[in-house]
Amino acid sequence: MNHFLDIHKTDPAALRTMIDSALAMKAARNGRPKGSPDDDRPLKDRMVALIFEKPSTRTRVSFDVGVRQLGGQTMVLSGKEMQLGHGETIADTARVLSRYVDLIMIRTFEEATLLEMAEHATVPVINGLTNRTHPCQIMADVMTYEEHRGPIGGRKVVWCGDGNNVCASFLHAAGQFGFDFTFTGPETLDPEDRFVAFARDKGSKVTIQRDPFTAVEGADLVVTDTWVSMHDPESAKERRHNQLRPYQVNEMLMSRAKPDSLFMHCLPAHRNDEATSAVMDGPHSVIFDEAENRLHAQKAILRWCLGL
Ligand code: CP
Ligand code: NVA
């Protein structure tokens, strides 16, 4: 069963095939209307369930459009409106949905929910974000880097701010795609050891650097994300803003990166908190290509999961 649960659980050769396939599918659409199907419709007669237990704009729309471009159909389900939100177990939900649909994509809170879904589903399951990781986002980010600057292997990626779920998937990707990764942020918001250990074990150079200006020196790619994630308590907001303000990505910080460096943010952003509008709309920024590439990268993930 080809579940796409995390980047570190997926074979590097398969990850490479997905990136190349995503780039090829993007090129093949060549300016067509966005709702029109691809020439090739491998998901014809397939049904995909998209379950959301948290809000989403990009994941929801890009998966929905992507499945349709591949010729398939979707049903978008809110966890709250399902029996899942009223005490039915994840395992039973997985068994039932597997009788109706060909693939399940789920955005949820606990990593354990995703794993339980995958364990009991008899169709592939895709991780559309948990509190711990966000692998679809980072596949789009790797694709975006390579589309602008060529192979990501050996490059220096610097993460500024909270060592959150998106940061964790970047560490997995550092190990699998072979790039170096520097984290800069306060100690209390460091990425979990298990994510750092994975990248290091795979031979990636991982650096923790408290000074953001030193960290960004010579970066090929600078990345940040919201300071408060969907699963973080609202009460954490003020403290986090105070802790993270020195790690804001602004023009002064970007000037320490390589002149041809790129800036990424998975969005949604809080403009002028984690990154200034000058950077988000500036010459290094590829944030809207990243958002677009969710569509193409996920089409490649869907095809890989279904062996199509
Ligand atoms: N980047 C991302 O996953 O965005 P959404 O929360 O809008 O899906
Ligand atoms: N770290 C963010 C990513 C949103 C796409 C969150 O989990 O809220």
pLDDT in the model for residue 84: 86
Proximal ligand: closest to the CA of 59: 1
DSSP 249: B
Residue of 78, 267, 290, 295 with the most ligand 1 atoms within 8 Å of its CB, for mutation: 267
State which ligand 2 atom lies nearest to the alpha carbon of 129: 7
**Ligand 2 pocket test: which of 266, 294, 298 has the largest number of ligand atoms within 8 Å of its C-beta?**
266
How many other C-beta atoms are found inside a 10 Å radius of the C-beta of residue 171? 30
Is there an atom of ligand 1 within 6 Å of 56 CB? yes
- Protein residue with its CA nearest to atom 6 in ligand 2: 229
Mean pLDDT by 10 residues, the chain (308 residues): 97 98 96 94 97 97 98 96 89 98 98 98 98 98 98 98 98 98 98 98 98 98 98 94 98 98 98 98 98 98 98
- The alpha carbon of 168 and the centre of ligand 2 are apart by a number of angstroms equal to 12
Backbone phi, psi, residue 129, to 5°: 115, 130
**What's this model's pTM, rounded to 2 decimal places?**
0.98
Q: Which atom of ligand 2 is nearest to the CA of 131?
A: 7
Q: Which ligand is nearest to the CA of 189?
A: 2
Could you give the CA distance from residue 129 to residue 283 in angstroms, rounded to a whole number?
29
Q: Which two tokens stand for residue 296?
A: 């193409």
Q: Take residue 260 and report the two structure tokens written for it.
A: 């041809």
DSSP tag of 3: -
Q: Is the CB of 57 under 6 A from ligand 1?
A: yes
Closest among 104, 46, 103 to 70, alpha carbons compared: 46
Q: What is the CA radius of gyration of the chain?
A: 19
CB atoms within 10 A of CB 64: 18
pLDDT at 280: 98
Ligand 1 midpoint to CA 208 (Å): 26
**Residue with CA nearest ligand 1 atom 3:** 59
Contact 105, 137 (CB under 8 A): no
- What residues act catalytically? 107, 134, 137, 225, 266, 294
Ligand 2 pocket residue status of 229, Cβ below 6 Å: yes
Distance (Å, rounded) from C-alpha 274 to C-alpha 276? 7
DSSP 271: B
Atom of ligand 1 minimally distant from the CA of 107: 8
Q: What pLDDT does 30 receive?
A: 87
Token pair of 175, please?
């190990």
Closest ligand 1 atom to Cα of 59 = 8
- For residue 213, CA distances in Å to 3, 205, 251, 285 come to 39, 18, 12, 18
Backbone region of residue 150 per phi and psi (left: phi > 0; alpha: psi in -120 to 50; beta: other values)? left
Place of tokens 């591949």: 70
Mutate to test the pocket of ligand 2, among 230, 234, 265, 290 (most ligand atoms within 8 A of CB): 230
CA torsion, ordered 276, 281, 283, 287, to nearest 10 deg: 100
How close is the Cα of 90 to the center of ligand 1, in Å? Answer: 23
CA of 296 to the centre of ligand 1 (A): 15
Q: Where are the alpha helices (DSSP H) in the chain?
A: 12-29, 58-69, 90-100, 111-120, 135-149, 165-177, 193-201, 212-216, 237-244, 251-254, 277-280, 287-306
- The single-letter code of the amino acid at 36 is S
Whether 63 contacts 128, CB under 8 Å: yes
Distances in whole angstroms, Cα of residue 112 to Cα of each of 127, 171, 197, 239: 12, 20, 20, 28
Query: Which 8-state DSSP code applies to residue 168?
Result: H
Cα 16 to Cα 154: distance, rounded to the nearest angstrom: 15
